[in-house]
């Protein structure tokens, strides 16, 4: 074999057929293609006043572009290493959720301000419910059916459960004050103090996770589903890893340029979130959808990209990755999303007291307790996955009529 260096473009042109190039292009850029189509359609429908269809198209576009953001984020995380890598992954995981919820909070026209605030609070709790029950339940079910039992690092789940129990209790402080008939001024002040406490706790956890006890969290929290699939297929065909990775344009981009692209996609998501907030709330009122259900829908949209990663990880016998995705995302939702939303609300002079209703309080507590029981020994099976799903569908039923 000739040892002289071969230019990448030449190597690709001699090894790849036209059909292979088309297949790689579709696998790499389908999310951007459908994101653009859905986004343009959402704008057109919004202008025409088709609010329900516009909200649906906006939601689909946000999901597609969120997948792209998560892919770029992992490329950056691989290059930057710890602790910057974890920061980038965390940022990509929460920014879409924050944008969605904040745009909803800003929607105050036509007397929707009260419903907007309730929807945001429902979205915060629903994100945890979806991550810890639907995502974790489906993944554990898939893994249990494929491998009977799966093992993960019980230190990981133990640490996350401790964090979630503490943060859940802290988050419920304003709700307890509301139940004891404290006035709005006290609730708002307590909510701000809770947000500060949660973010300070997150700083400590970040140090714990990336510096002092990194061995507790060895598995990567995110992976690129389609890139993994392509690597497996190309490896079977005898193609080298270095050449196949170069097919994806963001793998070849400099780090600074990737940051610019990721920022650009996030700005697009922010614009689409505005359409979703405006048209989605109007649709909810017209159809009689409760804030709890509206919050669930927002949580589905924000968490959707993680489903691809988690289920594929379960099928490939990577339960550690599943645990990190589900519990890590839930932790960040409470510790980062809540403080950021409170900060943005203060900047825009919007009151957002964190007094959750009884359904949200009960669902949060029982979700953490259920996750503790199903992951405490480091072994999961399909029955535990089904248990999480049953709990989730019961919550959906209550949310629909609450």
Give the position of tokens 């999310």: 31
Task: Dump pLDDT digits (tens) for 41-66.
Answer: 999 999 998 989 999 999 999 999 98
Domains of the chain from N-terminus onward: 8-401 (1.20.1420.30)
Cα three-residue angle 103-104-105, rounded to 5 degrees: 90
With contact defined as beta carbons under 8 Å apart, do 392 and 400 qualify?
no
Please tell me the pTM assigned to this model.
0.80
Alpha-carbon Rg for the chain, nearest whole angstrom, is: 22
With contact defined as beta carbons under 8 Å apart, do 331 and 368 qualify?
no
Query: In this predicted model, which residue has the larger pLDDT, 19 or 173?
Result: 173
Task: Dump pLDDT digits (tens) for 227-237.
Answer: 344 455 555 55
- Residue 381, classed as helix, strand or coil, is strand
Q: What percent of the chain has pLDDT over 90?
A: 31
Task: Dump pLDDT digits (tens) for 79-136.
Answer: 876 546 656 766 777 888 888 899 888 876 555 667 888 899 999 999 999 999 999 9
Phi-psi domain of 349 (left: phi exceeds 0; alpha: psi -120 through 50; beta: other): left
Query: In this predicted model, which residue has the larger pLDDT, 312 or 218?
Result: 312
Any alpha helices (H) in 288-357, and if so which ranges? 291-315, 319-332, 338-347
Q: CA nearest 299: which of 272, 329, 324, 319?
A: 329
Strands (E), 165-311: none
Confidence of residue 166 (pLDDT cuts 50, 70, 90): very high
Cα–Cα distance, 69 to 401 (Å, whole number): 35
Give the position of tokens 């057929």: 17
Angle between the N-to-C axes of helices 136-147 and 291-315, in degrees from 0 to 180, rounded to the nearest 10? 30
Does residue 183 carry a pLDDT above 50? Answer: yes
């Amino acid at each position: 074999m000739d040892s002289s260096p071969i230019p990448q473009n030449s190597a690709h042109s001699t090894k790849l057929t036209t059909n292979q190039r088309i297949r790689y292009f579709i696998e790499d850029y389908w999310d951007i293609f459908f994101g653009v189509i859905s986004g343009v359609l959402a704008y057109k429908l919004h202008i025409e006043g088709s609010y329900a269809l516009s909200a649906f198209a906006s939601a689909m576009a946000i999901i597609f572009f969120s997948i792209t953001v998560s892919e770029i984020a992992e490329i950056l995380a691989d290059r930057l290493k710890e602790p910057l890598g974890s920061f980038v992954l965390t940022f990509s995981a929460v920014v879409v959720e924050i944008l969605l919820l904040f745009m909803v909070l800003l929607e105050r026209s036509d007397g929707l301000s009260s419903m907007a605030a309730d929807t945001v609070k429902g979205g915060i709790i629903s994100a945890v419910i979806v991550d810890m029950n639907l995502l974790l339940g489906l993944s554990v079910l898939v893994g249990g059916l494929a491998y009977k039992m799966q093992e993960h690092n019980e230190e990981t789940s133990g640490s996350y459960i401790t964090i979630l129990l503490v943060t859940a209790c802290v988050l419920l402080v304003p709700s307890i004050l509301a139940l004891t008939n404290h006035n709005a001024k006290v609730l708002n002040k307590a909510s701000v103090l809770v947000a500060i406490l949660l973010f300070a706790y997150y700083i400590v956890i970040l140090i714990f996770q990336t510096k002092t006890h990194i061995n507790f969290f060895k598995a990567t929290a995110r992976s690129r589903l389609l890139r993994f699939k392509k690597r497996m297929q190309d490896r079977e065909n005898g193609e080298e890893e270095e050449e196949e990775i170069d097919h994806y344009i963001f793998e070849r981009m400099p780090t600074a340029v990737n940051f610019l692209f990721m920022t650009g996609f996030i700005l697009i998501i922010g614009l689409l979130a505005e359409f979703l907030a405006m048209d989605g709330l109007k649709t909810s009122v017209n159809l009689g959808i409760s804030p709890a259900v509206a919050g669930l829908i927002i949580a589905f949209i924000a968490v959707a990209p993680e489903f691809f990663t988690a289920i594929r990880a379960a099928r490939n016998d990577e339960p550690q990755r599943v645990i990190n995705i589900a519990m890590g995302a839930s932790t960040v939702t409470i510790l980062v999303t809540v403080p950021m939303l409170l900060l943005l609300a203060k900047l825009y002079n919007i009151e957002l007291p964190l007094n959750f209703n009884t359904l949200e309080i009960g669902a949060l507590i029982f979700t953490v307790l259920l996750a503790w029981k199903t992951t405490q020994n480091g072994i999961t099976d399909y029955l535990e996955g089904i248990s999480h799903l049953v709990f989730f569908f019961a919550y959906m039923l209550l949310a629909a009529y609450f």
